[in-house]
Amino acid sequence: MPQFQFDHPFFQPPEVREPDQAAATSRLQAGPRLVGGTSYESRADLDAHQVQTLARASLVGLEAARRVIFGWQRQGLSLALIYTRGIAPCARLLGQWWYADDINFAQTTLASTHLHRLLHEFSAEFVREEPCATQNLSLLLLTEPGAQHSLGLFMLGEFFRRAGWSVTLGIPPDVGEFERMFRAEWFDAIGVSVSTDRHLDTLEKLLPQLKATSVNLDMHIFVGGPMAQLEPQRLRWHCAELMAEDAPGTVRRVSESLASRVV
């Protein structure tokens, strides 16, 4: 059954068991950013060793990964920096460990689920960290058909939400559902995350057709994801803008593209 989430608060990430739900709720209400007492360090960063620490913690469990992030917050790191310089490279590192047979698929999936859950837990705090006025712009973010993971897409949606966009996330199980989601309603922009080469030829032919028959004929389409990093030349399609940047850079470029059209 496809997952189709309208406006992020309705999104439910994969379940992760907590030994004590009351304790988990208390942790969410008393994170270091919520109680104050810390300030952002503008020159702070995360190095490869710290990313490895988070990766190992995510393999241990949700609470272990949560403690690492809380520790970074107490050091004065913003959630935006933690997302882009900590969690995103951590997810890539887990993938590298899997490809190298250092960890198995089940371990990779569970660790990624823990990271995904943490993004959901920190969502409200992340948006409050740098609030922005509503932009009256709507965005649909889709994985490629049959995608196994949506962590990166979820994180990108968080940055768009913080910039004032209304965001819908879609995880279509097949090409037919991908088409249905694309045509569901008016969207100012649609982003497609491509992780593999399984549907490259199909998407290259399909996207121009979908745009030509969509509710908004002037919508902005962009593509990104792991394939944009590995083989960007294969995603240079005439109907879509290639995004190989991080989440803040993607938000900036898409927003600028739409603003230039209005002018």
pTM higher than the cut 0.85: no
pLDDT at 254: 93
Task: Find the radius of gyration of the CA atoms of the chain.
Answer: 18
Structural contact between residues 153 and 205, judged by C-beta atoms closer than 8 angstroms: no
Predicted confidence at residue 226, as pLDDT, reads 87
Neighbours of 196 (CB within 10 A): 14
Q: Check: CB of residue 241 under 8 Å from CB of residue 153.
A: no
144: left (phi over 0), alpha (psi -120 to 50) or beta: beta
| Per-residue pLDDT at 25 | 41
For residue 69, give the H/E element and its range: helix 62-74
- pLDDT at position 262: 59
Q: What is the pLDDT at residue 9?
A: 35
pLDDT per residue, tens digit, the chain (263 aa), is 344 443 433 334 444 444 444 444 444 444 554 444 445 555 568 999 999 999 999 999 999 999 999 999 999 999 999 999 999 999 999 999 999 999 999 999 999 999 999 999 999 999 999 888 888 899 999 999 998 888 999 999 999 999 999 999 999 999 999 999 999 889 999 999 998 899 999 999 999 999 999 889 889 999 998 888 888 999 989 889 998 778 999 999 999 988 887 55
